[in-house]
Amino acid sequence: MDLKQLKALVTVVEVGSVTRAAELLHLVQPAVTRQIRALEHELGVPLFERTHHGMRPTPAGSGLADRARRALTELDRARAELTPATGAVTGIVTVGLLESTAELLADPLTRAILRDHPGIELRLLTAYSGHLQHWLDDGDLDLSLLYNLTGTPLLNVTSLAREQLWAVAPLAENLSPEEPVGLTELARRPIIMPTPGHGLHALITSSLHQAGVEIDVAVQTNSMHLQKQLVRAGHGWTILPAVAIANDLDSLSAAPLCAPETWRSIVLGMPRTGRVPAAVEVVARELVEQVHSAIRDGRWPSARLHHAPAPG
């Protein structure tokens, strides 16, 4: 098993086609096919199902590709860190951003790193908190924003901020940020909920139980974009963190939730084990600064700083 074979495996899994993988790897198609077959022969198991619609990885193929991807990333990181550069911090840093915060933080974080640390290659992934924590635990992320999480055996957690959840309705409902909406009033409408297993679903359910309120769930989705789209289409109201709708108030109306108020805590998670590379420390400090700056400047509605020391 060599690096060329692992790169071929990962690329075919990602694009689902030997032909397309060969183009991306700047190889001829038979060379990629030979590398895959050599791996299968060495391991004694099929790594792909060949179908009319392309190459579909078997469970063994998916599992090996996950591990190969991490190994290749670590080699890329080591190569970047070892490349001589006069006093510059170098390396690859993979950052997880909550889907609700990506639009607010991705641009200023990227701009600051490119300006001050051009030797750092930044990789940004967005998802819900549960997915990001799983990727952190598996070593696919170097650091990530999460919410409503304390320290775990695998993660160090730094509290950054608290943020209030808002009721979100069609524009015609004329909700106002100055007039909070109670859960009882919200419950009079069909509700578009995040799917079970999502941290926001658990947070909303807990508040409903606390208030003794039952709701009519119109639909559940794992996409924040779809939540907002379905509200715009008039299928019901939803509940989101304020930052998720800060740029949508021309097409949606929103107001803070009350009776009871519902808050989520934003934290920075980093693995406990292993040496923290200098590049990761730099990006962690910059991400914390961007969170604090967005709140101080009023760009993060309904958020309050948690005055804890920054990591690193």
pLDDT above 70 (res 172)? yes
Q: Is residue 310 part of a domain?
A: no
Residues 197, 154 share a domain:
no
CA 143 to chain centre: 11
Start-to-end C-alpha separation, the chain: 38
Q: Is residue 242 part of a domain?
A: yes
**What is the pTM assigned to this prediction?**
0.71
Residues 191, 231 share a domain:
yes
Last residue of a domain, one of 81, 109, 129: 81
User: At 75, is the pLDDT very low, low, confident or very high (cuts 50, 70, 90)?
Assistant: confident
- Residue 308 is predicted with a pLDDT of 41
- Residue 301 is predicted with a pLDDT of 83
pLDDT above 80 (res 279)? yes
Q: Is residue 248 part of a domain?
A: yes
Tell me the residue range of the domain where 197 lies: 162-264
Last residue of a domain, one of 25, 59, 81: 81
Distance (Å, rounded) from C-alpha 221 to C-alpha 238?
11
CB 171, CB 254: distance < 8 Å: no
Which is nearest to 204 in space by CA: 232, 240, 177? 240
Arithmetic mean of pLDDT, 150-157: 81
CATH (domain of 26): 1.10.10.10
User: At 307, is the pLDDT very low, low, confident or very high (cuts 50, 70, 90)?
Assistant: low
3-state secondary structure at position 168: strand
Tens digit of each residue's pLDDT (9 = 90 or more) over 19-67: 888 888 888 888 889 888 888 888 889 998 888 777 889 999 898 998 8
